[in-house]
Every structure is written in C-alpha cells, then in structure tokens.
Amino acid sequence: MKELIEKYVVDKFGNIEIPESEEEKQKLARALLGVSLISNLDYWLDNAFDLVSNPEREKPFTRENAASKKDKAFRAAFTNLDDEVKEKIKQLIADTTTGLLFSHLVSFDQFDFGELQIKLTPKTLHGVTEELTITKKWEDLHDELPEWMENFSKHQEQLKN
C-alpha cells in the first residue's frame, strides 16, 4: 500500500498520477482512503494520549475558553493515576476509536438502504477527470482496516493489542 502511495502521489497537495490498470486504480483509491482515515485516527489518538500522559499542554492555550477548561479538567483527572492505569486508559481509547472506525466501514460495506458506491475524483496535475471506484457492492472495506493501520499509523503498537 505504501508503495502505491509513493508511486502515484506526486506532491504534498494531493495530486496523483492515475494508474493504467483498473485493478491498480481501485487499489490506489482504497489506499488513499485508508491513509486519510488513519491520519484522522492518529490525530485523535495523539490528542487523547497527550491528555492522559501529560499534566500540561506542550503549547499553552493563548486564552482561557471552553476548550482550555476541558483540557485542564482532563489533565487534572489523569495526573495522579499510575502509569499502568494510564496505559489501560490509552488502550481503551485505541480500542474504542478503531472499533468505531471499523463499524463505520462495515456500515459502508453493508448499507441497509441500497447499494452504496464510494468513488474518488482525484486531483491531478494534468486536469484528468476520471473517477476511481473505491468500493462497489459487497466489497469489504472493513477487512482492509488492519492493513491500513499497519501501513499508515504511527500508533501501530497500541493498535495491535
């Protein structure tokens, strides 16, 4: 999967080269979906793990507001816990967030109200407008989640448990 991203993503702005074969097009589209979903997962895991592990933010809020109060309350609640309990909380967070993502992918795969098709019209440098099919009926995106996490997540160890 990483090799597809490296081969076809041409810049940091999301422009891609489109593969020749239909099979490679779908694999690339699915890998791009995976990298995007896992990037969001990592963002929220980073946020939650920081709240659990660190008594203070690395970069302070510029002013007090609802978000800063919520942040302080979480950090205060976790600060006196021992490391073993903090690790269990982090594992619970990882299990819950990946379970939520898995469930959403199952919902896409087994949509109750008809056939759900997910397509990508990619950004390209050459203005090519071609739709890449991410999923058609009965293609199991949820089966790809473990591979996406292994290939794209910086939290691979926490997500393996």
Residue 123, classed as helix, strand or coil, is strand
Query: Measured between alpha carbons, how far is residue 137 from residues 51, 92, 99, 114, 131 in Å?
Result: 40, 32, 22, 9, 16
The 10s digit of each residue's pLDDT in 70-84 is 999 999 999 999 999
Backbone phi, psi, residue 54, to 5°: -120, 125
What was the pLDDT predicted at 128? Answer: 73
Query: Residue 99 belongs to what domain range?
Result: 2-160
Q: Which residue positions in the chain have pLDDT lower than 70?
A: 137-138, 161
pLDDT single digits (tens) 105-129 = 999 988 899 888 899 998 887 777 7
Q: How far apart are CA 23 and CA 19, in angstroms?
A: 9
- How many distinct structural domains can be found in the chain? 1
Look at residue 161 in the predicted model and tell me its pLDDT. Answer: 67
Q: Give the C-alpha separation, 123 to 17, whole Å.
A: 9
